Chains A and B, each alone.
Chain A
Amino acid sequence: MILAIETSCDDTCAAVVGAEGELLANVISSQGIHDRYGGVVPEVASRHHLELLPAVVDDALARAGVGLGDLDALAVTQGPGLVGALLVGVASAKALAAARELPLVPVDHLHGHVAANFLAPSFEPPFLCLLASGGHTLLAEVRDHGPDFGVLGTTLDDAAGEAFDKGARLLGLGFPGGPELSRLAVEGDPHAFAFPTGRGVAGLDFSFAGLKTALLYKVRDLGEDEARARRADLAASYEHAIVEALVDRVARGLEQTGLDRLALGGGVAANRLLRERAAGLAPHVHVPAPELCTDNAAMIASAARFVDPLPYPAYVGLDAYATGERAL
């Protein structure tokens, strides 16, 4: 049984997962407070992690019906992410483990997103995995349980979820506006405007910066009143372009690798249009539950099952890392 802690961004998370990958508890405390700043404030996120973490850990243990003495190991997100936020989780996990001389498993956040698929009932490799969120846009070839996987494509600029949020802001919606933009898009015509999908980008990489700029110009061209009147059409066309960009790379990735299994992850995996389009791309498509697609500690515990644990005291000097050990 593994207790995992994840604090790479603004969600304070702890989870307990059993030896067979069964999810016993998954606690996510979303800070929310960042919405009023229009983005995540690293110092604010770090302060909240420190305040919230002991209660979140206690809650996860209580929901799983276990104590620290029942654990085989602890796991923690080591990176990538906001380093000040990660350090709260890493210091806490190290101390919780060290005081009981338990092993500790350092986990890469992206391996965690992939490993959300290995929670019981497991979606087994090999498969192609599309991770799309406010922080990541990644097309991965997953041949085994990891920790390593092949990166087929990544974004050259904005992440997919970031493109959603920036588009929402241009349309006068709140932050984070991605889900709101999608709600608005339901009433609009996805073919009303032709926005770029980054098809010119070589290989399987993504680019969303041009899309955001195209929306900015379109809103300007239409003028304030017209842009407001056609907000639903703008939202629908914009969403359509993001989803087509993702679907295009996934389709080509499946063809290139010969894989017939596809998994989605990240907050954008909750997008209705993306899920509809993905369903037609491969005979086997898996999307974890929404709370396992966005940042969570269950996926970190799941990944930890496939990483060599560090025995006490090998991890006392463990540090967090801000940017990927992997090329991302």
Chain B
Amino acid sequence: MIILGFDTATPATAVALLDGDEVVERRHDPEPGERPGHATRLLALLAEVMAEGGVGWERVDRIAAGIGPGSFTGLRIGLATARSLAQSRALPLVGVSSLAALAEPARAQADRVVAVLDARRGEVFAAAWEGRDQVLAPVALAPEALAERLRDVGSPSLAAGDGAVRFREQLEPAGVVIPADGSPLHRLSAAWICRLGARAEAAGPGTVLPSYLREPDAHPRQRP
């Protein structure tokens, strides 16, 4: 099965092509102060991995896309792209939790893993696993509140993600183990979006929508 997968929940634009066991990956990580490249890079990176993998649209079997939680605009660009690619080629589409994809590589190294993304406004998006079980469903909360929840369960957790790096000070006192800032464990890889997407049940494109985890701010504006 050939899967095209991507994620736009974080400032990075991460893209991968999975063909059996072969993976081709590309990503764009914005420099500090640079805007995320979701709008301008995603389709170009997809074209690159397909060219490198020698795969045309007629050979793609499935599309997998990160559904967040994460940047609202980033998620919409990713899922508008995923839904429209699927619609254009009549392909099955799978939505994959961005937190689950982030946690996967860490789960090979520890029994208890928590994926933590910076959610802005002083909060994180987080989810945790113990062995095969999800012990904390994706949620938006203050890092102190997350530390409290992780302290409750006793044994130390391995944390991955930009939220773990940013809120190291709040999380480490609760016994959370956070790899060095530059560790690849903190970067969400689209290869894992593909692998998780391969296992999941494909749905109609219409059912795959962002997991925002937050209500919109209702600040009305005049029509532009």
Query: Which residues of A are interface residues toward B (Cβ below 8 A)?
Result: 8-10, 34, 37-44, 46-47, 50-51, 53-55, 57-58, 68, 80-82, 84, 87-100, 133-135, 158-159, 161-162, 165, 313, 316-320, 322
Interface mask (B181-224 → A, CB under 8 Å = 1, otherwise 0): 00000000000000000000000011001101000111111111
Interface residue ranges of B151-209 to A (CB < 8 Å): 205-206, 209
Interface residues of A, dominant DSSP: helix
Interface residue ranges of B92-120 to A (CB < 8 Å): none
Query: Which residues of B are interface residues toward A (Cβ below 8 A)?
Result: 39-44, 46-47, 57, 72-73, 76-77, 79-85, 87-89, 205-206, 209-210, 212, 216-224
CB distance from A287 to the nearest CB of B (A): 20
Of B72, B84, B209, B217, the contact of A96 (CB 8 Å cutoff): B84
Q: Which residue of A lies closest to B206 (CB)?
A: A54
What is the CA–CA distance of A40 and B218 in the complex, to the nearest angstrom? 9
Q: Which residue of A lies closest to B216 (CB)?
A: A43
Q: Tell whether, in the assembled complex, residue B209 and residue A50 are in contact, meaning their CB atoms are under 8 Å apart.
A: yes
Of B44, B76, B209, B219, the contact of A91 (CB 8 Å cutoff): B76
Q: Tell whether, in the assembled complex, residue A39 and residue B222 are in contact, meaning their CB atoms are under 8 Å apart.
A: yes
Contacts of B218 in A (CB 8 A): 37, 41, 44
What is the CA–CA distance of A203 and B224 in the complex, to the nearest angstrom? 23
Q: Tell whether, in the assembled complex, residue A40 and residue B222 are in contact, meaning their CB atoms are under 8 Å apart.
A: yes
CB distance from A43 to the nearest CB of B (A): 4
**Besides the contacts A54-B83, A57-B87, A91-B81, what 17 more A-B pairs have beta carbons closer than 8 Å?**
A37-B218, A38-B220, A39-B220, A41-B220, A43-B72, A43-B217, A53-B83, A91-B42, A95-B80, A95-B84, A97-B88, A98-B46, A99-B89, A100-B57, A165-B222, A313-B44, A318-B40
Q: Tell whether, in the assembled complex, residue B83 and residue A317 are in contact, meaning their CB atoms are under 8 Å apart.
A: no
Of B43, B72, B206, B209, the contact of A95 (CB 8 Å cutoff): B43
